[in-house]
Amino acid sequence: MRLRYDLMRFFLLSLLLVSLAACGQQEQATNRAMEANAAAFVPPPVVRPKALPGQDDRPPLDVYVGKYPHDPIDGVGFYDRTEVANALIDAVGDEAMRRRIAGEATEVPIFVSGERIAAWGCEPHNCGPNHWVFLLRRDGTGGEACHHTDAMGGASRWYAGGAPVMRPGDCPKATT
């Protein structure tokens, strides 16, 4: 009787070990297939926004000066304007950086910097060490972005349609 019990126990343990080994091989095969799919993934191209019919009679971008970027004027926020969105896409190839610039952040009112309009923002609760500015001409062209973190030292990363370039100094800020 004891021998039969030991044989049954041995059989069940063997079956369990074989099942576990098969599961491990299946999991490894699944992981390899997922890695191959991820390596072959090509993200879709960015689709540039187009103005809807009737949006041609918008006020000039100057009306946003003194307003926060997410404050709508005639129902449209600064970054939601077609020409601003396109200028941001043209200037900043890094989607994560575009999302940071146009996303929810701590912001100051839009200001004029030289001949351009500028929208400044920063990481909430971390403004000094991590901030950025998006500048463009008043006609909505010539977009350029600057991003600065303390880790960059006395330089900032600038985006203007090509690969980002490090330039000396901080990003432009509003003067009071």
Split at pLDDT 50, 70, 90, the class of 162 is: confident
Supply the CATH number for residue 61's domain. Answer: 3.40.1420
Residues 18 and 61 both lie in one domain? no
Q: Which residues of 53-84 are buried (b: 16+ CB within 10 A; e: fewer)?
A: eeeeebeebeebeeeebbeeeeeebbbebbbb
Q: Is residue 139 in a domain?
A: yes
Token representation of residue 148: 């600065």
Residues 107 and 152 both lie in one domain? yes
Residues 127 and 150 both lie in one domain? yes
Residues 68 and 36 both lie in one domain? no
Question: Could you give the CA distance from residue 172 to residue 119 in angstroms, rounded to a whole number?
Answer: 10
> What mean pLDDT is reported for the chain?
83
Q: Tell me the pLDDT tens digit for each residue of 36-80.
A: 666 776 666 666 666 666 666 678 899 999 999 999 998 889 999
146: containing domain: 55-168
Residues 135, 119, 155, 114, CA torsion sign: positive
Residues 17 and 85 both lie in one domain? no
Residues 28 and 66 both lie in one domain? no
Residues 155 and 71 both lie in one domain? yes
Domain count, the chain: 2
Give the pLDDT confidence score for residue 11 in this predicted structure.
64
